[in-house]
Amino acid sequence: MSGGTGAFGELPISAASRMGEPEGRTSPEELIAAAHAGCFTMALGSILAGQKTPPELLQVTATVTLETSGTPTITSSQLDVHGVVPGADAASFDRAAHDAERACPVSRALQGNVEIRVQATLDEPALGA
């Protein structure tokens, strides 16, 4: 598999990578997680910038769950975001993260089929930064 834009090279993909034996290959679920994390990060950065609190750092991990009993089905996507956002407090960061989840096109594509959860943590800037 390869991306049409050339942004990434060929990615080997296999059924074994779904079951915890990736051996350097990816799976459709991993690709969905990467797309969800990237899309959500872009939406959150845009929302925060629009609130005049642009982020210094956003780190997002998406964990997609594949239920394998019966017909394999993606059941959830957990978005964990850590951010360093000068001028934001924990409550405003959490609201922005939930707004970003609703604004992200990948979230909207998954909505109604996949449970989406967001855990937002506002981190302090590193000392000396």
Strand 57-67 relative to strand 115-122, pairing: unpaired
**Collapsing DSSP states into helix, strand and coil, what is residue 68?**
coil
Q: What's the topology of domain 28-122?
A: GMP Synthetase; Chain A, domain 3 (3.30.300)
Please tell me the pTM assigned to this model.
0.86
Of 7, 75, 79, 74, which is closest to residue 43 (Cα–Cα)?
A: 79
Residue extents of the structural domains in the chain: 28-122
Q: By CB neighbour count within 10 A (0-12 exposed, 13-18 middle, 19+ buried), where does 79 fall? A: buried
63-109 pLDDT, tens digit per residue, is 999 998 999 899 999 999 999 999 999 999 999 999 999 999 999 99
31-68 pLDDT, tens digit per residue, is 999 999 999 999 999 999 999 999 999 999 999 999 98
Q: What is the mean pLDDT of residues 11-31?
A: 74
Residues 62/77, Cβ–Cβ less than 8 Å: yes
Report residue 122: phi and psi, to 5°: -90, 120
pLDDT of residue 68: 87
